[in-house]
Amino acid sequence: ARRNPDEPEFQQAVLEVLDSLSPALSRHPEYARERILERLCEPERQIVFRVPWRDDQGRVHVNRGFRVEFNSALGPYKGGLRFHPSVNLGVVKFLGFEQIFKNALTGMSIGGGKGGSDFDPKGRSDTEVERFCQSFMTELHRHLGEHTDVPAGDIGVGGREIGYLFGQYRRLANRWEAGVITGKGLDWGGSRVRTEATGYGNVLFTQRMLERVGQSLDGQRVVVSGSGNVAIYSVEKARQLGATVVACSDSTGHVVDERGIDVDLLRQVKEVERERISVYAERRTGARYVEGGSVWDVPCTVALPSATQNELDADAARTLVRGGVKVVSEGANMPTTPEAVRVLREAKVLFAPGKAANAGGVATSVLEMRQNARRTSWSFEHAEQELAEVMAGIHDRCEEAAERYGAPGDYVLGANVAGFERVAGAMLAQGLV
């Protein structure tokens, strides 16, 4: 805390991991001797830069850009870019730190990094977003490369933004280097299922957790928070597996739709029209919109927080428990506060941390890089099958590590320990760098 003041999210993410690691540390004294934890908590490189751009009225704006290249022991830095007014260095560091363990858990060769800007794309025209992305990439491009650092999307960065970012990279580098960014369009190096991957992956992870206790998603009542990329495809996959998704939200309110959220309408409103979630309720008979309030007031058996950090607090967790929740699986990064996690654990709710449950997105990014390297393009079915195998692998690695440390069913401990052991092993083998 002394070394990173004013970075509460980063401190929270580090403490959550450290909490789980004491059994692993006592079994491996070499970790302490080589100061692996201290090295892990200090990013390899942090880039902070000015992003000036001009709006449609000719006015000049100045935003701040970030890229935190956290750890490359396992491969090139990999992690998304977030464009949201709440972005600051501490937020990017928390996301980058989580990303190290998440990427390690996939079993793939990727290090951890994250970036973004305090730019708010909401209400901005396409041309303004284009100019912003070009200015942002004008600085960032010199730090990227398929063997160095490979960004992707996150909050506020979807297909449109990735397009503008890739275009500017290609122009500045004078190179068509597909592997430099992921989440690309299908006609220019993208992978099928990348758009769906994080949401689908989280639901597949949930299904596997339920199977372990002799249940399934079929017939479950699901609530998803958010209505962005992760949320939309969580809704779609949950429906495919027989669940009814009765509510979702955005930062202004939530909708309750007892017949089950209509994914096509949700995509039309949020992805195509970039409208508020209230518009969904206006167009769907039987659905109602609740301004403000909490989506966690809607009773459910499965909760999939898929909006942002610290969106599910202890009060919300108690409400969920009273409503009969059996599973909480994090689609977003660190959406559940530490107090809320304690409430859920005491109530014996199955809980999956984001670094395991939402790793389907980054894993499919690596599948995109593989297809780019082989100059090939897989079918939807093939890419989805690969995603299912990756999620099963992540689940089982967490499960195995939790059992090995005498805490069966503890996915938090399992994810932290399994991710840590892989990174720490690589750091030890590679010496003091």
> Which residues make up each annotated binding site for NAD(+)?
198, 229
Residue nearest ligand NDP (C-beta atom):
228
CB of 226 to ligand NDP, least distance (A): 3
Cα separation, 105 vs 89, in Å, equals 25
- Name residue 285's amino acid: T
Cα separation, 342 vs 417, in Å, equals 19
Strand partners, 64: 50
CB of 40 to ligand NDP, least distance (A): 20
Residue set of the binding site: 78, 99, 102, 153, 198, 229, 365
For CA atoms 25, 26, 31, 37, give the dihedral sign: positive
Cα separation, 196 vs 230, in Å, equals 7
* Catalytic site residue from 93, 114, 184, 237: 114
CB of 253 to ligand NDP, least distance (A): 9
If the CB atoms of residues 28 and 84 are measured against ligand NDP, the closer one turns out to be 84
Contact between 112 and 71 under an 8 Å Cβ cutoff? The reply is: yes
Cα separation, 136 vs 429, in Å, equals 36
CB of 152 to ligand NDP, least distance (A): 7
If the CB atoms of residues 228 and 419 are measured against ligand NDP, the closer one turns out to be 228
355 is catalytic: no
DSSP-assigned letter for residue 250: -
Residues that bind ligand NDP in the complex, under the rule CB under 6 A: 153-156, 158, 198, 226-231, 250-252, 306-308, 311, 331-333, 358, 361
**In 220-347, where do the E strands start and end?**
221-224, 244-249, 253-256, 288-291, 302-304, 327-329
100: CB partners within 8 A, 6+ apart? 40, 70, 71, 111, 112, 419, 423
CB of 59 to ligand NDP, least distance (A): 23
If the CB atoms of residues 135 and 358 are measured against ligand NDP, the closer one turns out to be 358
Cα separation, 79 vs 310, in Å, equals 20
If the CB atoms of residues 183 and 414 are measured against ligand NDP, the closer one turns out to be 183
If the CB atoms of residues 81 and 423 are measured against ligand NDP, the closer one turns out to be 81
If the CB atoms of residues 210 and 248 are measured against ligand NDP, the closer one turns out to be 248
Residue set of the binding site for substrate: 78, 99, 102, 153, 365
Helix (H, G, I), strand (E, B) or coil at 380: helix
Q: How far, rounded to the nearest angstrom, does the alpha carbon of residue 358 sit from its chain's CA centroid?
A: 5
Q: How far, rounded to the nearest angstrom, does the alpha carbon of residue 314 sit from its chain's CA centroid?
A: 22
53: CB partners within 8 A, 6+ apart? 60, 61, 63, 128, 131, 132, 134, 135
CB of 305 to ligand NDP, least distance (A): 9
| Main-chain dihedrals φ then ψ at residue 71, nearest 5 degrees | -155, 130
Write out the catalytic residue numbers: 114
